[in-house]
Amino acid sequence: MSPGIEIADTLAAAAGQAARRASDALLSLQYPEGYWWAKLTADTTLESDYILLELWLHPPVDGRWNPPTRERIDRAVRSILARQLPDGGFNIYPKGPPEISASVKAYFALKVAGVAAGDPRMERLRRCIVSLGGIQAANSYTKINLSLFGLYPRENIPSVPPEMVLVGKVIYEMSSWTRAIVIPLAIVQALNPGRPVPEGFTLDEIFLPGKGLEFARDPGRLTWRNLFVAIDRLLKFWERRGSKALRRKAIRVAEKWMLERLRHSDGLGAIYPPMMYAIMALDLLGYAPDHPERAEAQRQFERLIVEGEDQFYFQPCFSPVWDTAIVMFALGEAGAAPGEAMRRAADWVLAKEVRRKGDWSVKRPDLVPAGWYFEFANEFYPDIDDTAMVLLGLKHARASNPAAQEASQKRAVEWLLNMQSRDGGWAAFDVDNDWEPLSYVPFADHNAMLDPTCPDITGRVMEALCALGVPKSHPAIRHGVKYLMRTQEQDGSWYGRWGVDYIYGTFLALRGLRAAGQSDREAHILRAGEWLRSIQNADGGWGETCASYDNASFTAAGSTPSQTAWAILGLLASGDHSSISVNQGIEHLVETQRADGTWDEELATGTGFPKVFYLTYHYYRNSFPLLALASFLKARAGMIEG
């Protein structure tokens, strides 16, 4: 036996042992009902907004604020302060720099909750905010929230008019999450007379002296941004002088829209911001705290809280369908899951299939409902990425009712094929949701006004469709291949919209292209593989920071298990089964695995809104390394057999 073969066999043996430990660890985490579900964590803005909501629901009496939820608010304060940076600010991803909106929200929350302005922690925070441009530099949603309490001038925050629900289908040109946010927010802004704050409370000290409050404008005159700024002025005039009857009608339509989507869901949109605004809207619409609709909205919102003896934080949403699908696929590829465990998982997932029409049907009215959402319940919003991932997971599982499983899979395949956008790619929730001018409206600075197609979802969908039997010659697959070739970056990578960032996009694009039958000798495949090898860290792993989104290019970070796994999976998909890079990547995963079969990961590798909101998926660190190890072992076995 040659030394090379002996080394390879030793690495394969170590990888096999690591895969078995990882499989056992994941299997031990399966819920009795069949699903997997890890906590989903983000930044301090969720706890800060919670304190704002409590001020809304329990306003000061005689100028003093003494809410009945005081103990929980104090826990939120401690949770926020525990994550304060040395310079006083707050970041939006682990090891990131201070970010202005998160810092402003924290300052408001801490001060209104009773942390004295003279406290050294508050003084450091104040100086940090001023150095970042003051409250004027915060994003529009931060300013809108503060304006509800008279803490930021109403004339200097964007108008969110409820009348937009009356203008054809314009709301469906916004991303699904944006419309779920702005419709209840429009009700709040239209009906709010101005909520009280504790006596003498202001934020004057975090305004940057000499800096104006007006909306930013582009140089010149004929730009979309300048047009929307002018429209905002007209909207403010309309709010003062427009038809009150038309506004009442718009509020009624918005209320109906909101109530319809509160049903069959874990709260409006099943994500934190719409759920918070829905509670505020129901309050202003006159729904008493014990009214069933409002009580349920409040209950769903409070389910997002994670609290224990020494912890308090909010999850931005739940992720059981997503977690379950990825774990099923990883275990299935590893061939390590007992049939009973996979059967229970398949039964649970199939019970979550969407069978009613949601917002997506506005542009696809004749398409039979199918697919899966992300959370425990979110019937109006199945998403394309989850649907593709569930199909990949189901490929390895046999449900109790095989006929029902087959029918469900066929519906999902048909749904995915028909949710392809005209440019050949797939987006998250909608089709052709890419009307670029909407990105310039004043409240679009959450950087997610639209839901355009992206390489990461497109690659995963192509992999799933081909795995479920769609021919490589199918027009949708051919169109998807052209899309991925067209969207490849100059350096050979692909942008990742829903994971950080270029490593994520590249690994999924390569897997999609491989599934579509692309040769590993094609120039675009070779370039991508070379790029992945070029960014490997000295320790054999891969890492990328969320700053890649700010820099619009790959920005290296310390190695993480999830990103190391993505890079290995990308290289394997590119035809690289035995390079030094692949071997060192596998060695890194083997060496960093904990004794219990799991991995540690500090950085956030999930993306909510690029540049604005990031997510830590606590199973990514375990499921993707297992998938990488399993794929490596399959590739190595194929080489030996060949």
Burial class (CB in 10 A: 0-12, 13-18, 19+), 168: exposed
Pairing of strands 606-609, 613-617: antiparallel
C-alpha to C-alpha distance for 32 and 344, rounded to whole angstroms: 8
> Are the C-beta atoms of 424 and 497 separated by less than 8 Å?
no
Sign of CA dihedral 459, 460, 464, 467: positive
Euclidean distance between CA atoms 435 and 365, whole angstroms: 20
Residue 287 to residue 9: CA distance in whole angstroms:
67
Alpha-carbon dihedral 178, 57, 298, 275, rounded to 10 degrees: 10
In sequence order, which ranges of 444-499 are alpha helices (DSSP H)?
Answer: 455-467, 475-487
Structure tokens at 75: 């826990």
CB 369 within 8 A of CB 414: no
Give the type of residue at 597.
G
The active-site residue, picked from 283, 347, 359, 385, is: 385
CA nearest neighbour of 544 among 510, 507, 490, 575: 507
Give the ranges where 82-166 is alpha helix by DSSP (H). 100-112, 120-131, 140-147
Give which of 226, 201, 202 is closest to 215, Cα–Cα: 226
Q: Give me the helix-helix angle, 70-81 and 45-57, nearest 10°.
A: 160
Q: 3-state DSSP call for residue 61? A: strand
What is the SS3 string spanning 354-410? CCCCCHHHHCCCCCCCCCECCCCCECCCCEHHHHHHHHHHHCCCCCCCHHHHHHHHH
Q: CA 615, 451, 415 angle in degrees (round to 5)?
A: 100
Provide the β-strand partners of residue 556: 544
Q: How far apart are CA 516 and CA 521, in angstroms?
A: 14
CB-based burial label for 183 (10 Å; 0-12, 13-18, 19+): buried
- In what helix (H) or strand (E) does residue 614 lie, and over which residues does it extend? strand 613-617
Report the distance separating Cα 115 and Cα 121, nearest Å: 9
Q: Are residues 178 and 439 in contact, defined by beta-carbon separation less than 8 angstroms?
A: no
* Pair of tokens at residue 596: 């219990």
What is each CA distance from 378 to 131, 140, 209, 270, in whole angstroms?
41, 27, 45, 6
DSSP 318: -
> Has 456 been annotated as catalytic?
no
| Residue 435, token pair as written in the block | 């009307």
Left if phi > 0, otherwise alpha if psi is -120 to 50, otherwise beta: which for 89? beta
CA distance 500 to 579: 24
- The rounded Cα 416 to chain-centroid distance in angstroms is 20
Contact indicator for 451, 175 with CB cutoff of 8 Å: yes
Catalytic residues, by residue number, are 385
